[in-house]
Amino acid sequence: MSKSFVVLLGLLAFGACDQRRSEPFVGERIFTEQELRGEVLFFRHCNECHPQGESGLGPSLNDKILPDFFVKNQVRNPLALMPEFEEDIISDAELEDLVEYTKAVKRQDAKTPAAEE
Amino acid sequence: MLRLLTLASLALLLPSCIKGGGQTSPTRDGPDPSDIALPEGYRIELVADGLNFPVGITFDDTGIPYVVESGYSYGEVFATPRVLRLDPATGDRSVVAEGAHPPWNGITHHRGHFYVSEGSQDKPGAIVEIDLTGEMREVVSGLPSQGDHHTNGPIVGPDGFLYFGQGTATNSGIVGEDNLMMGWLPRAPAFHDIPCRDVTLTGVNYESDDFLNSNNREKVSTGPYLPFGTAATPGQVIAGQVPCTGAVMRVQLPSAASHTAGGPFPVELYAWGFRNPFGLAFAPDGSLYVSDNGYDERGERPVFGSGDLLWKVEQGRWYGWPDYSGGRPLENQRFRPPLAELPKTLLQNPPEAPPLAAAYLAVHSSSNGMDISRSEAFGHVGHAFIAQFGDMSPGVGNVVQPVGFKVVRVDPARGVVSDFAVNDSKANGPASYLNSGGLERPVAARFSPDGNTLYVVDFGVMTIGNDGPEPRQNTGRIWRIIHE
């Protein structure tokens, strides 16, 4: 627990400068079916505090390279002020979709539309 | 313990990052459309500069734009509310009408008349009808708009009704110190929220100092839907009435033939349980959508992490205020402020289970005026374009980085939000924060009558000082966005 806590704080402290990945900056974004499912989940559960993956009430997500297990653990057993999302809110399958979506957003570089990759 | 440890660690590690967009010295450059990023194929240009607290825009039957200046800003700055005719080519303006009871919060045009929502700090709110000569009359009167949030809208629906929003008096139901800070509590000490239908209270009260009587050293208790210092009792029924707070209401406008007769006209409730239903727009399929400002982390019953919402509104429904946010009960750890207790449930039996929102928008983004695309030429037909005024941190709660200060596009069918017009910078924020010539505080977005141009009303500079909002007069702008 304490190790994860330190890692999280480190990520929060050193990753708090946004890297913008919305349409005006990266062009039209193309996603797989799974990523599209994850996109809907992201905007249902995450967007309020991490607007479009940028920092807001919470820290930015789209400029951090986080291992899948860390993201999933943070959703299920959050540290800091993030709310807990149990399986009746986000199922395991949905959590997979959500993680794939956040990874897909991070793959899109500024001024490089995903369709051209 | 872990919560406290986390807070202490964050406070040490992130002090320079916890900053809202208003926490700056205004040093923005002159307007520069190239400082604003848009999706490929769209172009933005400046229409007018130097407006005084502009908050809404509408168009007459020939497509000429008219802007409403509020005459009031948070920070207790008062001016004259006005309707201005705008030359779309030069930005030149002429005064159509001036009012005496600010704020004027929104405007629409219908059959040769303007309809302006008059929030008013010195009398009950109204919807004022103004003809092209500047003649005025109230078509709706007696609105409870002297509190935190005013009368919003209006728009005319496809059914010919005039729809408008009425914000709540308070953040989350309890009159308290935050309302003193807002400025209205000393002016209207008996003012409070009004339910649209009968509600039964749990008897929860919140204690505070007696802000209205400095000689009283005793604490006072205040319950929901009650004046400051009046406690609720378990099972107490508060009678509903219309007009009420936190609601979308409507009025049937007179026919063209009998236009000059009568008024004010009787108000009907359309839906309730909103907090501040600021933006109203009808989709091409006739559905009504409303943008709603979420709870703040302020006052005697602060709420943490409650985002702004886009609702698809059904007639007669209740949308959750003061006990839910986006269909989720507030008495849940996710809404507990870091340094305060969990919000307690105020209503014994909620009127109904509130629905989920069509979209969940950023906490403290102040998602305000909006419109829905109906033009294939502009694109994204059926999508909402929402002006985000931007955070007012730290008064409403802290943020890690500035939130809002842009126009977003929302696909209401999927709840997906996309930046549409946003300052072109490494991090988000208003132009004055970024030292750029871009967007400051967009407050309204409205399509031209042909649907091919999106006009954006930019309220201007409002920084947040130690004593609250510090608006700068005559810094408002009008922008327009075209699909090339």
pLDDT reported for residue B9: 47
Instruction: Break chain B down into helix, strand, coil percent, rounded to 5.
Output: 5, 35, 60
pLDDT reported for residue B27: 66
| Number of domain units in chain B | 1
How many residue contacts between A and B have a Cβ separation below 8 Å? 126
B427 contacts in chain A (CB < 8 Å): 17-18, 20
A43 contacts in chain B (CB < 8 Å): 359-360, 414-417
* Pair of tokens at residue B273: 């349980």
Distance CA B178, CA B119 (A): 19
Nearest CA in chain A to B304: A57
Residue A26: inside a domain, yes or no?
no
Low-confidence ranges of chain B (pLDDT < 70): 1-18, 26-28, 255-262
* CB atoms A43 and B420 under 8 Å: no
What are phi and psi for residue B221, nearest 5 degrees? -110, 135
- Closest residue by Cα to residue B457 from B447, B466, B467: B447
- Closest residue by Cα to residue B422 from B433, B438, B410: B438
Residue A20: inside a domain, yes or no?
no
pLDDT tens digits for range B184-212: 999 999 999 999 999 999 999 999 999 99
- Check which CATH number belongs to the domain holding A68 and give it: 1.10.760.10
Q: Which domain holds residue B275?
A: 4-483
Considering only CB atoms, B419 lies closest to which of A12, A23, A57, namely: A23
pLDDT tens digits for range B244-286: 999 999 999 876 655 666 678 899 999 999 999 999 999 999 9
Distance CA B88, CA B60 (A): 12
Residue A72: inside a domain, yes or no?
yes
> A78 touching B, CB under 8 A?
no
> A57 touching B, CB under 8 A?
yes
Considering only CB atoms, A16 lies closest to which of B17, B40, B416, namely: B17
- Closest residue by Cα to residue B436 from B32, B20, B25, B21: B32
Q: What is the pLDDT tens value at each position of chain A, 117 positions in all? A: 444 444 455 555 444 444 799 999 999 889 999 999 999 999 999 999 999 999 999 999 988 888 999 999 999 999 888 999 999 999 999 999 999 999 999 887 654 433 333
pLDDT tens digits for range A36-68: 999 999 999 999 999 999 999 999 998 888 899
pLDDT reported for residue B209: 95
B325 contacts in chain A (CB < 8 Å): none
Residue A10: inside a domain, yes or no?
yes
B400 contacts in chain A (CB < 8 Å): 16, 55-60
B366 contacts in chain A (CB < 8 Å): none
pLDDT reported for residue A1: 42
Residue A37: inside a domain, yes or no?
yes
Q: Is the ipTM of this complex over 0.90?
A: yes
> A7 touching B, CB under 8 A?
no
For testing contact with chain B, the best of A2, A6, A22, A112 (most B CBs within 10 A): A22
pLDDT reported for residue B422: 98
| Number of domain units in chain A | 1
For testing contact with chain B, the best of A2, A81, A82, A86 (most B CBs within 10 A): A81
Considering only CB atoms, A23 lies closest to which of B10, B17, B418, namely: B418
* CB atoms B306 and A48 under 8 Å: yes
**Helix A33-45 vs helix A92-107: angle between axes, to the nearest 10 degrees?**
100
Q: Which domain holds residue A59?
A: 3-15+32-116
B108 and B164 Cβ atoms separated by less than 8 Å: no
- Check which CATH number belongs to the domain holding B451 and give it: 2.120.10.30
**With 0-12 CB in 10 A as exposed, 13-18 as middle and 19+ as buried, what is B14?**
middle
pLDDT reported for residue B90: 94
